[in-house]
Structure formats: structure tokens, C-alpha cells
Amino acid sequence: MVDTAFDSLVKRAAERYRASGRFAWHFARGKLGCDPLFRSVIKYILPLTSGRILDLGCGRGLMFAWLRAADEGAIEGAVELHGIELRRDLVETAQRALAGIARIECGDIRDATFPSAAVIVIGDVLLYFSADEQQRVLEGVVRALTPGGVLLLREANAAGGLRFHITEWAERIAGAFHGRPFQKLHYRPVEDWSAALEHLGLTVTAEPMSHGTPFCNVLYVARKA
């Protein structure tokens, strides 16, 4: 059965990417429609009437387009949308799609100083960093989170058996397609991610985040006291 409300939401969010060409538009529709992360994070973010949502490694800014489409009334006014992305081409696409809505800057989150935020999102990014770099980013996140703030972190579960290997293979194929065939990837099992976040003083819950896909991803919802 087709979820017409969800499909309409995907179309509204993806519409912002038409100006960037057919590839950007089709990519947005496919990613928003098939990746379970977008449907799931709404309950942790909305409604939000003040503060900042910070997306680290925001790519084309799909999360912000999605949130605006999901609740126009909640993501405006006192709420600031701020994304940081390393790839200049993705930054330009995000800036075009989210002009006047979100601040998208080009930068490396391993070296950035993060502004204070009520919500911080890191989706499938830390796997590209070494253990020391991952730790440095997470320490910066904890400093930036306001009291009661939440980190939404998605990473693959390295102890996930065959589904993890499918996830890793898919990532390596994507890396080769983008000219990075030998890029090192650094995965961790659920227990390691949870322990690392708890060691930083966050309260953590972990939930599967691969619904409808062959992958082995986990969403960590980490709250600051």
C-alpha cells in the first residue's frame, strides 16, 4: 500500500533540488523516500521552537529540506538550521536548495569549532575518520550541545554479520564511484559506540536504522543531561 502522505512529503522536500538539475532532484527523491533515517528522526527533533539544528557532514542538506517539508511551522523563526559539509559541490547544491532557510558552510568537521545547538545530526560520516578523529568530533559535539540537547548519530554496526558486510561493500563501491577506491573506513560495533558516547556523559539508546534495506545501520540517540 502506498503511503500517500509520506510520498507527498518526499515530493515537497525534493522539489527544492529541481534547480540543481535532474540528477540532484532524482537523488533527493530516492534518498528521502528509501532511507529510513529521515522518517525516524522527526520524532526526536520536532516540534522545535528555538535553538539550532546542526547537521555535521550535511551533504546536499536533505535533512533540512525534509524537516521544513515535515513541519513548516516548527522549523522557522527562532530555530536556526546550520550545516557543515566538506565537499564544495554538495555545499553549492545545498545552498541553492536551502537559500534563505539554512546556513550551509564548507568545512572539515574534524577541525571546526561547533556553535551551540539543541540538536546535532551526524549521519554516516564518522566511518571516514580515524578513532582519534572520531573522538575529537564527539568531544566537540558534547561541548556544543545545550543542556537537554540530543545527538542523533547513525553508523553501521561492525558486529552485524552479513548485513554489515553488505553495508561495507556498498560503501566501498560508492567510494570507488567517487574516485576514492582505497579510502580507509573505520567501523565500530554497537557496544563500542554506546560506550564512547556514555563516557562523554551522554545518555544513549540505540535502535536499528535499516528498515526496508539490506544494510546494518544503527541510530544512537544520545542526550546531554
**Distance, CA of 75 to CA of 53 (rounded, Å):** 9
Q: How far is CA 177 from CA 111, 117, 173, 217, in A?
A: 26, 34, 6, 21
Cell of 83: 550545516
pLDDT per residue, tens digit, the chain (225 aa), is: 558 889 999 999 999 999 999 999 999 999 999 999 999 998 999 888 889 999 999 999 999 999 999 876 555 567 899 999 999 999 999 999 999 999 999 999 999 999 999 999 999 999 999 999 999 999 999 999 999 999 999 999 999 999 999 999 999 999 998 888 888 999 999 999 999 999 999 999 999 999 999 999 999 999 999
Q: Where are the domains of the chain?
A: 36-224
Q: For residue 55, which of 12, 113, 6, 119 has the smallest C-alpha distance? A: 119
**Distance, CA of 123 to CA of 126 (rounded, Å):** 8
Specify the residue for cell string 575529537: 136
According to CATH, the topology of domain 36-224 is Rossmann fold (3.40.50)
